[in-house]
């Protein structure tokens, strides 16, 4: 029942906001309360409602097709739902009282996107999964196209076409798998029982992988991403990059790897190469950017590349690191986007060339920025360090002949990330203040609170990540047992 | 059998027509549930099974919404309002014959009963040259294809000695060359009627030239009924010869999808875009003919309902706009939020986005095709992505561009609410398609 509540609360909130058009103060307060309610439910799930019956919901739906409305919250689902609810709450807290054009529609679409994403994270029926996959896309398209920058219409359309193209291939894959199941069902359990030949696995692998690769995005499917991140309004960008890209990782972990383990091994080298090339490529481009949003966008591609490489490392340690990184990357990048938004709003520019010297007038902002930026390059004692450490350990244990190449090139990415992040800090905060930056930037109390929570999470999980690791330990072990290539070959 | 009995309803008033339709619809539903009002001996010429009845129910419901939404705009076409309605009801009788035929003669009669009033309706805007041209074009090409159909039926009789459509043709028994000629002639004639490429050339001009109200009717209800007959002809009568016609139909599907979608991308007028989009959608519906299994029939029913409702809704809005170009839709979301939201749902449904009826319909079609030819399914979904290009242009215009000065369009008071109801029906079809499909079996 918890899973159903998690979907219903934002859905009801979204409908309410669409029908009841209030002013911006009312709309943002209502959205904040809805997101707080979701967070409470999530908290209750963590501490009280953890019996198996509470975590599963299944209702008949499209029975003649073999599909049912089935949701289940396993370790992966818990981690991502937690990330979603926390991110939404922090974002809405930060946005409290903001004047936005047509505020009710803005927050309504955002909440609708939350329904879609939570649905993707929790559904264990492939057709339902596809439904939610698209449902998450439509609100994002409208948000980015209506509230975005000058070039928003062509840019977001490209984003939509790209993702839609990927997902229809996945739909063909889903339909094919359904026709192969014994009981003609779309359920994950039934699909797992199919025995596919290696060639069939390869076909299915690519049909699914393209959909996920576009969503992530993995090099060379990434071209929509920097433009879309730049043109979208920053709150939307933060949801896109903190939560929505996790849909792609979830697709890899819940659908692709366990369903086609042999194909994942066969094509693992190709995907790993793409991922590490993407890391270096995106890092090099990030160093050249003078636009703050584009810089963060490219840095996000680099992080996602590392996570993708971890998914195809096919061992338990990499999975653990990846699952942890799902959460920490979301929190860190959310912090980065909020800071970028503050800087752009208060100074009126996001060009690194015209900023500089902010540290002298606004020390609080500088402290927040430096901590979050350092977490982004995974400095020890920040939350991302643990995840990246495990990821690299896992990549070194990859069942591939080229594991050391992948680890070495991926490691280069970390060095490069330090370069562009420190360059960014220097360009914005140090140097001589100019006419734009010589006034102090006043942070409002709710902005400070939201950022403090983020910094608190970064430091807390940097020192003590065990609760998060425990949360996903079972999932990671089970995933490993399904994808452990040596035992798979021994069996067949 | 309630086909042509109620069609005496030559109502002078819009309301009377609506009441007549509602009664017909209720009687039809009653018959689906097994309550017959009366029985007429049709000597085996007509056969109203579940499939035909559900199809009729869909058409009646679509017609009901069609009259509700755009009945009043028919008055603008010309002075003969009552005549237009009467012609529509004549066509309606033809539609029932076409969905429920058991003999090829009835199929031919039904198609003629549909076509002749349609020629008149196409040319009903007498002062408009384009309308006259369209009517002439439609008449000439239509009669030509009817000739093909008749020739096909004659060959069929020559080979078989009867007109029965219910017994499938056994290629091992019947003389082959005559049989083959009739099969191909019927295939071509039916393809022409449902505007499948390469027999689609009349469609854009006729749809563009005809008064918009009647284009809406032609492109939806008529087309869907003809598809029902098409599927029936090839799944019942010629099912044993599928190895002959399946490659042809597969070729037609690919051609139709390619030509319809790729040409629609380059249109400047929304009305012409919709004409090409209806060709593209015909390509999807043709997959139901191609694949002989349960999925395809269910898919066609869903397609019929969702496509008709969505297209009728779009055309209904179009009749109230002065400017048929994409710019005419600029900023509609600000001025008419409900109309714009409904239109957005219709276009999303036509593009096949989940949560709408159009998605479910496409899902069934792709599923049906996938069990025969995976590449056909891949062509179909790629073309569905292409269709997003032109459908979303309207959504972009409505939501993301601001309006020009002076293009104010006035809608009647109840119109937005009615449109919203239609849009909600499309969404319901996408969430609970079994509400409709259940009628087939229970």
Q: What is the pLDDT of residues B43-52, one digit of tens each?
A: 677 777 888 8
Euclidean distance between CA atoms A417 and A299, whole angstroms:
7
**Contact assignment for A179 to B377 by CB distance below 8 Å:** no
Residue A413: name the closest of A394, A429, A391, A428 by CA: A391
Euclidean distance between CA atoms B434 and B438, whole angstroms:
5
pLDDT at residue A80 in the model: 92
Q: Work out the pLDDT band at B5, boundaries 50, 70, 90.
A: very low
Euclidean distance between CA atoms B115 and A189, whole angstroms:
52
Residues shown for chain B: 442
Is residue A199 within 8 Å of residue A247, measured between CB atoms? no
Of the candidates B374, B384, B401, the beta carbon closest to that of A168 is on B384
- Cβ density class B220-259: b for 16+ within 10 Å, e for less: bbbbbbbbbbbbbbbbbbbeebbebbbeebbebbbbbbbb
CA distance B309 to chain A (A): 22
**Contact assignment for A168 to B389 by CB distance below 8 Å:** no
Residue A252: name the closest of A233, A275, A231, A223 by CA: A275
Euclidean distance between CA atoms B191 and B152, whole angstroms:
13
Euclidean distance between CA atoms B28 and B55, whole angstroms:
10
Euclidean distance between CA atoms B361 and B253, whole angstroms:
16
**Contact assignment for A157 to B392 by CB distance below 8 Å:** yes
Q: How far is CA A256 from CA A182, A232, A483, B322, B399, in A?
A: 20, 30, 10, 51, 36
Q: Work out the pLDDT band at B41, boundaries 50, 70, 90.
A: low
Please tell me whether residue B37 adopts helix, strand or coil conformation.
coil
pLDDT at residue B148 in the model: 92
Is residue B118 within 8 Å of residue B90, measured between CB atoms? no
Interface A-B, measured as beta-carbon pairs within 8 A, has a size of 62
Q: Which chain B residues are closer than 8 Å to A134 by Cβ? A: 353-355
Residue B219: name the closest of B261, B255, B145, B273 by CA: B273
B12 φ/ψ angles, rounded to the nearest 5 degrees: -90, -20
Q: Which residue has the higher pLDDT, B240 or A285?
A: A285
Euclidean distance between CA atoms A58 and B284, whole angstroms:
33
Is residue B380 within 8 Å of residue B287, measured between CB atoms? yes
Rg (CA), chain B: 21
**Contact assignment for B363 to A157 by CB distance below 8 Å:** no
Q: Which residues contact B331 (CB under 8 A, 6 or more apart)?
A: B397, B398, B401, B402, B403, B404
- Mind listing the pLDDT tens digit for each residue in B257-298? 999 899 998 888 888 899 999 999 999 999 888 887 777 788
DSSP bridge partners of A60: A68
Judged against a pLDDT cut of 90, whether residue B330 lies above it is answered with no
Distance of CA A92 to the CA centre of its chain: 17
Please tell me whether residue A327 adopts helix, strand or coil conformation.
helix
A195 φ/ψ angles, rounded to the nearest 5 degrees: -105, 110
CA distance A171 to chain B (A): 9
Alpha helices by DSSP H, B6-80:
14-32, 50-70
CA distance B381 to chain A (A): 6
Residue spans of the domains in chain B: they are 6-441
Residue A413: name the closest of A434, A431, A395 by CA: A395
Nearest CA in chain B to A158: B389
Judged against a pLDDT cut of 60, whether residue B373 lies above it is answered with yes
User: Which runs of E-coded beta strand occur in A352-491?
Assistant: none
Specify burial of residue B413 (Cβ count, 10 A radius: 0-12, 13-18, 19+): exposed
pLDDT at residue B2 in the model: 41
Which token pair is A180? 């192969």
Of the candidates A62, A64, A172, the beta carbon closest to that of B378 is on A172
User: Which residues of A make CB contacts under 8 Å with B?
Assistant: 62-64, 130-131, 134-135, 138, 142, 145-146, 152-153, 157, 160-161, 164-165, 168-169, 171-172, 175-176, 178-179
**Contact assignment for A164 to B399 by CB distance below 8 Å:** no
**Strand (E) or helix (H) holding A313:** none
**Contact assignment for B388 to A142 by CB distance below 8 Å:** no
Of the candidates A131, A142, A175, the beta carbon closest to that of B354 is on A131
Helix axes B50-70, B415-431, angle to 10 degrees: 150
Q: What is the DSSP letter of B219?
A: I
pLDDT at residue A59 in the model: 86
A68 φ/ψ angles, rounded to the nearest 5 degrees: -135, 160
Is residue A67 within 8 Å of residue A127, measured between CB atoms? yes
Which token pair is A71? 């949701």
Of the candidates B370, B400, B433, the beta carbon closest to that of A176 is on B370
Nearest CA in chain A to B387: A161
User: Which runs of E-coded beta strand occur in B301-419?
Assistant: none
Euclidean distance between CA atoms B369 and B364, whole angstroms:
9
pLDDT at residue A67 in the model: 85
pLDDT at residue B252 in the model: 92
pLDDT at residue A6 in the model: 87
Share of chain B above pLDDT 70, in %: 91
Euclidean distance between CA atoms A105 and B286, whole angstroms:
39
Q: Which chain A residues are closer than 8 Å to B374 by Cβ? A: 172, 176
pLDDT at residue B4 in the model: 40
Specify burial of residue A418 (Cβ count, 10 A radius: 0-12, 13-18, 19+): middle
Euclidean distance between CA atoms A399 and A404, whole angstroms:
11
Is residue A289 within 8 Å of residue A229, measured between CB atoms? no
Is residue B34 within 8 Å of residue B48, measured between CB atoms? no
pLDDT at residue A491 in the model: 60
Q: Which residues contact A339 (CB under 8 A, 6 or more apart)?
A: A365, A368, A369, A372, A451
Euclidean distance between CA atoms A429 and A292, whole angstroms:
13
Q: Which chain A residues are closer than 8 Å to B371 by Cβ? A: 179
Chosen from B400, B401, B437, B439 to mutate, greatest number of chain A CBs within 10 A: B400
A187 φ/ψ angles, rounded to the nearest 5 degrees: -70, 145
Q: What is the DSSP letter of A412?
A: H
Q: Work out the pLDDT band at B174, boundaries 50, 70, 90.
A: low
Chosen from B381, B393, B429, B431 to mutate, greatest number of chain A CBs within 10 A: B381
Nearest CA in chain B to A132: B354
**Tokens 């001996």 correspond to what residue?**
B41
- Range B321-333 average pLDDT: 80
Q: How far is CA B50 from CA A39, A390, B102, in A?
A: 50, 61, 14
Distance of CA A64 to the CA centre of its chain: 34
Q: What is the DSSP letter of A54?
A: G
CA distance B320 to chain A (A): 26
Euclidean distance between CA atoms A346 and B304, whole angstroms:
55
B46 φ/ψ angles, rounded to the nearest 5 degrees: -120, 150
User: Which residues of B make CB contacts under 8 Å with A?
Assistant: 348, 353-355, 363, 366-367, 370-371, 374, 377-378, 381-382, 384-385, 388-389, 392, 396, 399-401, 433-434, 437
**Contact assignment for A171 to B355 by CB distance below 8 Å:** no
Q: Which chain A residues are closer than 8 Å to B355 by Cβ? A: 131, 134-135
Q: Which chain A residues are closer than 8 Å to B433 by Cβ? A: 62
Q: Work out the pLDDT band at B9, boundaries 50, 70, 90.
A: very low
Q: How far is CA B320 from CA A266, B48, B72, in A?
A: 58, 38, 11
Judged against a pLDDT cut of 70, whether residue B111 lies above it is answered with yes
ipTM over 0.90: no
Is residue B351 within 8 Å of residue B289, measured between CB atoms? no
Euclidean distance between CA atoms A215 and A245, whole angstroms:
6
CB < 8 Å & 24+ apart, contacts of B263-268: B264/B387, B264/B390, B265/B386, B265/B389, B265/B390, B267/B390, B268/B325, B268/B326
CA atoms within 13 A on the CB side of A383: 28
Residue A71: name the closest of A51, A56, A49, A50 by CA: A56
DSSP for A178-197, written as a single string: HHHSTT---BHHHHHT----
Mean pLDDT by 10 residues, chain A (492 residues): 86 86 80 90 85 82 83 89 93 86 87 93 92 90 86 87 90 89 85 85 91 88 88 90 91 90 88 91 90 90 90 88 91 92 87 82 88 88 88 85 85 89 88 78 87 92 88 87 74 58
- Range B113-124 average pLDDT: 90
**Tokens 């069942």 correspond to what residue?**
A399
CA dihedral (B428, B429, B431, B435) positive or negative: positive
Euclidean distance between CA atoms B257 and B195, whole angstroms:
12
- A472-481, B33-42, B165-174, B399-408: which is most confident: A472-481
**Contact assignment for B392 to A160 by CB distance below 8 Å:** yes
Please tell me whether residue A23 adopts helix, strand or coil conformation.
coil
Nearest CA in chain B to A144: B400
DSSP for A235-273, written as a single string: HHHHHIIIIIHHHHHHIIIIIIHHHSHHHHHHTHHHHHH
Of the candidates A64, A145, A168, the beta carbon closest to that of B437 is on A64
Residue A354: name the closest of A297, A436, A278, A430 by CA: A436
Is residue A336 within 8 Å of residue A329, measured between CB atoms? no
Is residue A296 within 8 Å of residue A314, measured between CB atoms? no
Q: Which chain A residues are closer than 8 Å to B296 by Cβ? A: none
Q: Which residue has the higher pLDDT, B355 or B35?
A: B355
Euclidean distance between CA atoms A138 and B359, whole angstroms:
14
């Amino acid at each position: 029942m918890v899973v159903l509540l998690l979907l219903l609360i934002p859905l009801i909130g979204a409908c309410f906001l669409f029908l009841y058009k209030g002013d911006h103060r009312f709309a943002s307060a209502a959205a904040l309360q809805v997101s707080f309610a979701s967070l409470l439910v999530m908290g209750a799930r963590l501490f009280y409602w953890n019996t198996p019956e509470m975590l599963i919901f299944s209702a008949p739906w499209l029975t003649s097709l073999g599909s049912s409305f089935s949701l289940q919250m396993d370790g992966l689902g818990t981690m991502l739902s937690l990330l979603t609810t926390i991110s939404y709450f922090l974002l809405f807290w930060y946005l409290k009282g903001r004047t936005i054009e047509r505020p009710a529609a803005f927050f309504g679409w955002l909440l609708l996107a939350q329904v879609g994403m939570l649905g993707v994270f929790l559904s264990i029926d492939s057709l339902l999964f596809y439904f939610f996959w698209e449902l998450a896309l439509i609100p994002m398209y409208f948000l980015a196209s209506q509230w975005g920058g000058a070039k928003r219409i062509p840019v977001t359309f490209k984003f939509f076409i790209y993702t839609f193209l990927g997902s229809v291939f996945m739909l063909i894959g889903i339909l094919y798998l359904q026709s192969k199941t014994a009981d003609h069902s779309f359920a994950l359990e039934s699909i797992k029982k199919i025995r596919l030949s290696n060639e069939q696995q390869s076909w299915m692998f690519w049909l699914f992988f393209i959909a996920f690769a576009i969503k992530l995005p993995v090099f060379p499917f990434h071209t929509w991403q920097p433009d879309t991140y730049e043109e979208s309004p920053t709150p939307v960008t933060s949801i896109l990059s903190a939560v929505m890209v996790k849909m792609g990782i979830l697709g890899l972990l819940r659908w692709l790897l366990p369903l086609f383990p042999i194909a994942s091994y066969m094509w693992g080298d190709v995907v790993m190469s793409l991922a590490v090339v993407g890391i270096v490529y995106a890092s090099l481009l990030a160093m050249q950017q003078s636009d703050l949003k584009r810089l963060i966008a490219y840095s996000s591609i680099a992080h996602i590349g590392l996570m993708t490489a971890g998914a195809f490392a096919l061992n338990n340690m990499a999975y653990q690191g990846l699952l942890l990184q799902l959460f920490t990357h979301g929190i860190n990048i959310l912090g980065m986007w909020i800071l970028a938004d503050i800087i752009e709003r208060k100074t009126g520019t996001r060009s690194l060339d015209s900023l500089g010297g902010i540290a002298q007038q606004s020390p609080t902002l500088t402290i927040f920025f430096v901590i979050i930026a350092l977490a982004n390059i995974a400095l020890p004692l920040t939350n991302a360090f643990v995840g990246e450490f495990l990821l690299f350990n896992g990549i070194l244990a990859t069942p591939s002949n080229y594991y050391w190449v992948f680890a070495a090139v991926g490691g280069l990415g970390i060095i490069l990330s330090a370069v562009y992040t420190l360059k960014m800090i220097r360009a914005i905060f140090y140097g001589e203040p100019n006419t734009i930056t010589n006034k102090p930037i006043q942070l409002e109390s709710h902005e400070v609170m939201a950022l403090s929570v983020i910094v608190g999470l970064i430091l807390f999980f940097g020192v003590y990540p065990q609760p998060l690791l425990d949360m996903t330990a079972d999932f990671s072990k089970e995933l490993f047992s399904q994808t452990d290539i040596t035992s798979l070959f021994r069996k067949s | 059998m309630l086909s042509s009995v109620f069609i005496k309803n030559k109502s002078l008033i819009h309301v009377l027509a609506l009441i007549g339709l509602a009664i017909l619809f209720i009687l039809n539903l009653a018959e689906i549930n097994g309550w017959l009002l009366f029985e007429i001996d049709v000597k085996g010429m007509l056969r109203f099974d579940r499939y035909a009845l559900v199809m009729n129910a869909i058409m009646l419901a679509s017609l009901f919404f069609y009259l509700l939404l755009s009945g009043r705009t028919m008055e603008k076409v010309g002075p003969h309002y009552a005549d237009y309605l009467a012609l529509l009801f004549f066509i309606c009788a033809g539609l029932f014959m076409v969905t429920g035929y058991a003999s090829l003669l009835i199929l031919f009669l039904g198609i003629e009963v549909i076509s002749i009033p349609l020629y008149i309706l196409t040319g009903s805007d007498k002062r408009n040259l384009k309308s006259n041209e369209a009517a002439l074009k439609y008449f000439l090409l239509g009669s030509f294809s009817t000739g093909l159909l008749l020739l096909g039926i004659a060959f069929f009789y020559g080979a078989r000695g009867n007109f029965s459509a219910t017994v499938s043709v056994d290629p091992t028994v019947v003389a082959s060359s005559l049989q083959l000629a009739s099969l191909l002639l019927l295939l071509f004639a039916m393809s022409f009627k449902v505007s499948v490429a390469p027999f689609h050339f009349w469609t854009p001009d006729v749809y563009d030239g005809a008064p918009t109200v009647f284009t809406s009717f032609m492109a939806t209800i008529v087309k869907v009924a003809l598809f029902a007959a098409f599927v029936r002809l090839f799944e019942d009568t010629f099912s044993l010869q599928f190895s002959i016609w399946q490659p042809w139909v597969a070729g037609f599907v690919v051609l139709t999808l390619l030509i319809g979608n790729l040409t629609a991308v380059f249109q400047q007028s929304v009305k012409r875009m919709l004409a090409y989009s209806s060709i593209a959608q015909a390509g999807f519906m043709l997959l139901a003919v191609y694949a002989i299994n349960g999925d395809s029939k269910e898919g066609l029913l869903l397609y019929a309902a969702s496509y008709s409702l969505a297209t009728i809704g779009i055309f209904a809005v179009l009749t109230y706009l002065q400017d048929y170009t994409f710019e005419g839709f600029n900023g509609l979301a600000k001025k008419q939020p409900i109309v714009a939201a409904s239109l957005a749902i219709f276009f999303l449904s036509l593009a096949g986005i989940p949560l709408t009826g159009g998605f479910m319909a496409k899902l069934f079609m792709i599923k049906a095709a996938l069990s025969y030819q995976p590449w056909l399914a891949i062509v179909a979904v790629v073309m569905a992505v292409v269709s997003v290009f032109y459908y979303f242009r309207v959504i972009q215009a409505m939501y993301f561009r601001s309006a020009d000065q002076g293009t104010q369009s006035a809608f009647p008071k109840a119109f937005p609410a009615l449109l919203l109801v239609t849009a909600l029906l499309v969404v319901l079809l996408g969430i609970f398609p079994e509400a409709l499909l259940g009628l087939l079996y229970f």
